[in-house]
Amino acid sequence: MALFIILILTSLCIAGREALNISDCGAYARRPEYTDIAVVCGTSGIDLAIQICPVIYTGYNASLLILNQIRNNVDCQGTLDTSVMPPVVRFSFPIREGNACGSNFLTTSSQGTGVFSDFSNIQSVNISGVVRSSDPTIGTITYNAELKYFYSCAYPLEYLINNTQVDVSSSSIALTDNNGSFISTLSMTLYKDVNYTTPLVIPPVGIELRTNIYVQVVAANLTSQYFVLLDRCYASVSPQPSNSTFYNLFVSCSRDQLTTMLENGDSQRARFYFPAFRFIEQQNATISTYYLHCITRLCERTTCSTFKQCSRKKKRSVETTVLQDSITEPSVLTVSVRAMTEGSTVSSEETPSGGHSDDKGTSVGLGIAVAVLVVIGVAAMLMAASFYRKLNLLR
């Protein structure tokens, strides 16, 4: 019985602590400041934390803080947290349009710069709103100041996925959320089959040239209003391709003739494949190692088809050259490919585009031989005609 009474008293004390008063705040009881709100821009939701003691000091409590004028939705109401000092009111809501507790969504476009300079329409989405105080005063006047806590999260919708580690069963890497970034939802994985069921494990000796490499970029745990659209994928000899040789697999609608696009901009995954090649500058190495990078756009489902039109982006030819722009993205994933350069079933002079240098050399040699034979034949005919005339004159 005594234990039962103690439990009741404990629960009453806990319940009483959920409604703080000014005496509970101590030194934290003060006028509101601009720094009283903390915003965490996550990949699937936004979290707000507002210090409650300045709110109480002004004449309100946690229940009188209203998110975007939404009063009757329990999921949009604040929760008092007294486990931290100073105590705060927490709001947490998803970032899906139509289900973000009244938040405003504004998508803006700008010219790409740096690694995105190939594209003229780089988008970002800004999600914003306000937590206001609801004055309980009944009458004509009030002595309580109005409180407004504004929040805003800007998310870029274009990312560079740099990749390395494919000698394991999967190259997906979990990253901690970056404020205002969806990069941690993206991953690039290599597969060995067209059904994308068996991850590609590259052996220590590398993979044979012309072996198909199946690439998949996926957005996981991301709001369903965005699809994945690959704007550009390329290979480079350096994991951070500043001032390194690179080769475009595709840029917008311009594709290498051996790159096959299977799915792009139609769901939260993109798929393509290409045959393994090697870089000529690594011809003296036993294994040619290079790195895959994909510039990935998150486009709204209703607008993805617009970005898939070639006329909306700058075109760039598919070629091998040297990249001058530095890579400054702080959060990257890495995938490397190792191709055989010796002991392979294909010519050791094979170029990245799939051309055959030996075949070209053979064709040139054959042409020269035919030309020589023609010249010799013509000379023989002229000599025979001249000899025949001399015989006729002697007769």
Instruction: Return d(Cα 93, Cα 45) in angstroms, integer.
Output: 6
pLDDT in tens, 99-140: 899 999 988 877 666 656 656 677 888 899 999 999 888 888
Q: Which of 198, 196, 186, 193 is nearest to 162 (CA)?
A: 186
Residue with tokens 């080769």: 247
CATH superfamily of this structure's domain 158-340: Zona pellucida, ZP-C domain (2.60.40.4100)
Same fold, 20-156 and 158-340: yes
List the one residue out of 367, 364, 365, 386 whose CA is nearest residue 375: 367
Give the pLDDT confidence score for residue 290 in this predicted structure.
87
> What would the pLDDT profile of 255-277 be if each residue is shown by its tens digit?
888 999 999 989 999 999 999 98
Could you confirm whether domain 20-156 is CATH 2.60.40.3210? yes
pLDDT at site 137: 84
- Residue 299 and residue 182 in contact, taking contact as beta carbons nearer than 8 Å: no
* Residue at token pair 């939404």: 70
Cβ–Cβ under 8 Å, residues 156 and 140 = no
pLDDT at 372: 62
Q: What is the pLDDT of residue 63?
A: 92
Give the model's pLDDT for residue 377: 72
State residue 357's pLDDT score: 39
pTM of the model: 0.59
* DSSP-based three-state secondary structure for 57: helix
pLDDT of residue 394: 53
Residues 332, 254: contact at Cβ < 8 Å?
A: no
Which residues in the chain come in under a pLDDT of 70?
A: 1-18, 111-120, 162-180, 241-243, 310-336, 338-372, 374-375, 378, 384-395
Query: Closest Cα to residue 230, out of 193, 175, 268?
Result: 268
Task: Give the pLDDT confidence score for residue 109 in this predicted structure.
Answer: 76
* DSSP characters over 255-305: E-TT-EEEE-SSSSEEEEEEE----GGGTTSSEEEEEEEEEEEEEETTTHH
- List the chain domain ranges: 20-156, 158-340
- What sign has the CA pseudo-torsion 350, 356, 359, 364? negative
pLDDT at 305: 82
β partners of residue 290: 337
Tell me the C-alpha distance between 314 and 306, whole Å.
14
DSSP 76: G
CA distances from 161 to 172, 197, 235, 267 (A): 11, 21, 12, 18
Q: How far apart are CA 159 and CA 140, in angstroms?
A: 53
